[in-house]
Chain A
């Protein structure tokens, strides 16, 4: 047994020792300054200039941002992002909830195996997922047309391209909510379900009134992380469509990449990237606020 007074002194020595701990932050601080803080500020600075990447940037104030507001490609790219949020966050979360609730009642090995199978696409590099589907969707030799007995150019038809990319992303994302929700469900007291069942509540009512409220934190996390991922999406667009046909699948990330590295409009690209960063930070902040209020 330790005497109370002794605990007090040791706490005090620990506290007085606390001063030197900042030394451990030094290596990361230098790295962060060089890799994140300075580049971010440089990007912000470049967004106020006209610059091709070589020579001296010319200060033009807010002109790039004014141009953004008028640029139809820019607005279209954010609209496509909204579609991708549906495909990467909303739909997978909704299907994932039903799947997790269903799998959870299938005790034993079947549930574990099914969960693993649903999760499998998630381990792929997203670019490789694009390679796989680019091949499956190929208009002349792809497997999808063969199975459906169709002759559709899934990624080459401007009316279908975005919907096709969205479908691929649902396939890619689905496993993540399933795994997170199933873990969350382990917290739910089984007695609640049993009691509701005895009262004659239908599966749907139990799902809606017991399961969903209990794993609300997980639903928040999934929606937040998947929404951010959808806003940042680049790999699948690069591999599947390069933003095309026309601008049918253009997204902000790819749009900024085009301006940086193909059109040498570094200033304009930086403005797009800055807006994207602001949107993502705002979305994160909003989600955290809503979550705080809900709990």
Chain B
């Protein structure tokens, strides 16, 4: 009896959690007339895609997705490369003062972006990088690599010594050992980092909001965020914009579900 009650409670909660996704999807494909007549809770009378198409064209959403993709993809790759280089020196090379260096990386990772925002804005303007995707790539590479270094140094600290010794006896140099042994062996951890960096950067809002002010540099979340409260954002346009924001995230979730849950549990991160 209680078993049933528990199962029902769990199912009800799941419905509550998913409900916004479902209702956004339902209303994004509803015509304004249908919405006006039946409100947000009815099932759509037919499949009406004009609202989504109009919104897409109006904000040039394809371009926003591409900007998000370029920035997140570049950051993910570069931040993993830097994390590996740092962790190689700290975890395997055990350079002197590594505890302090790690503490600095951890500190860099906990600092709020608010405490860096204005100087970064100022410096980017001075360097002619303001309102460019490159500025965001540079900044987020540093921020994500701080976390990656911290996590990966712990992982590489456990790297089997015998393998490294065997490599050095075979006459492999340091760079070759890194490229042909350390990286391939730690590939599972690196792929988790790569995916997390990509999604975290995709989801960033504060700094991109400040840095990317023109239409052709904006990322998808920023474009959707700043449009709230615009005049043309009626019920249909709002639900279309919400759906377009949800879809990439849901796609990432379905693509990377395994890695995501593994990653969260390995690093217990964010």
A-B contact count (CB 8 A): 275
Given contacts A120-B17, A179-B265, contact A22 B89 (CB under 8 A): yes
Decide if A48 is an interface residue (CB 8 Å cutoff): no
**Cα distance A25–B95 in the bound complex, in angstroms:** 10
Given contacts A21-B93, A260-B118, contact A180 B264 (CB under 8 A): yes
A124:B138 contact, CB within 8 angstroms = no
**Cα distance A10–B221 in the bound complex, in angstroms:** 53
* Residue with the greatest number of chain B CB neighbours at <10 A, chosen from A141, A266, A281: A141
Decide if A154 is an interface residue (CB 8 Å cutoff): no
Decide if B253 is an interface residue (CB 8 Å cutoff): yes
Q: How large is the interface on A (under 10, 10 to 19, 20 to 34, 35 or more residues)?
A: 35 or more
A36:B111 contact, CB within 8 angstroms = yes
**Cα distance A33–B5 in the bound complex, in angstroms:** 57
Task: For chain A, residues 14 to 33, give those with C-beta under 8 angstroms from any C-beta of chain B.
Answer: 14, 17-18, 20-25, 27-28, 31-32
Decide if B74 is an interface residue (CB 8 Å cutoff): no
Decide if B228 is an interface residue (CB 8 Å cutoff): yes
A129 to chain B, nearest CB (A): 8
Q: Which of A24, A229, A273 contacts B89 (CB 8 A)?
A: A24
Q: Which of A103, A179, A218 contacts B261 (CB 8 A)?
A: A179
**Cα distance A102–B101 in the bound complex, in angstroms:** 42
Decide if A60 is an interface residue (CB 8 Å cutoff): no
A280:B108 contact, CB within 8 angstroms = no
Residues of A within 8 A of B41 (CB): 143, 146-147
Which one of A38-46, A67-75, A189-197 contacts B?
A: A38-46
Task: For chain B, residues 185 to 223, give those with C-beta under 8 angstroms from any C-beta of chain A.
Answer: 199, 202-206, 209-210, 220-222
Decide if B154 is an interface residue (CB 8 Å cutoff): no
B20:A128 contact, CB within 8 angstroms = no
Task: For chain B, residues 29 to 50, give those with C-beta under 8 angstroms from any C-beta of chain A.
Answer: 35, 39-41
A27:B82 contact, CB within 8 angstroms = yes
Decide if A212 is an interface residue (CB 8 Å cutoff): no
Residues of A within 8 A of B210 (CB): 257, 261
Q: Which of B116, B199, B221, B228 contacts A43 (CB 8 A)?
A: B116
* Residue with the greatest number of chain B CB neighbours at <10 A, chosen from A125, A130, A147: A125
A142:B40 contact, CB within 8 angstroms = yes
Task: For chain B, residues 229 to 270, give those with C-beta under 8 angstroms from any C-beta of chain A.
Answer: 235, 238-239, 241-242, 245-246, 249-250, 252-253, 257, 260-261, 264-265, 268-270
Q: How large is the interface on B (under 10, 10 to 19, 20 to 34, 35 or more residues)?
A: 35 or more
A128:B174 contact, CB within 8 angstroms = no
Decide if B134 is an interface residue (CB 8 Å cutoff): no
Residues of A within 8 A of B261 (CB): 115, 119, 179, 183
A127:B225 contact, CB within 8 angstroms = yes
Task: For chain A, residues 192 to 219, give those with C-beta under 8 angstroms from any C-beta of chain B.
Answer: 218
Decide if B94 is an interface residue (CB 8 Å cutoff): yes
Given contacts A141-B235, A260-B117, contact A253 B112 (CB under 8 A): yes
**Cα distance A24–B86 in the bound complex, in angstroms:** 6
A132:B24 contact, CB within 8 angstroms = yes
A179 to B, closest residue via Cβ: B264
B118:A46 contact, CB within 8 angstroms = yes
Decide if B183 is an interface residue (CB 8 Å cutoff): no
**Cα distance A147–B16 in the bound complex, in angstroms:** 12
Decide if B14 is an interface residue (CB 8 Å cutoff): yes
Decide if A35 is an interface residue (CB 8 Å cutoff): yes
B264:A141 contact, CB within 8 angstroms = no
B11 to chain A, nearest CB (A): 8
Q: Which of B17, B21, B89 contacts A174 (CB 8 A)?
A: B17
Question: Lowest 3 A-B CB distances belong to which pairs?
Answer: A21-B93, A128-B245, A183-B265
CB-defined A-B contacts under 8 Å, sample of 15: A21-B92, A21-B95, A37-B108, A38-B123, A39-B116, A43-B118, A43-B119, A102-B10, A110-B7, A117-B17, A132-B245, A134-B238, A135-B235, A221-B268, A238-B225
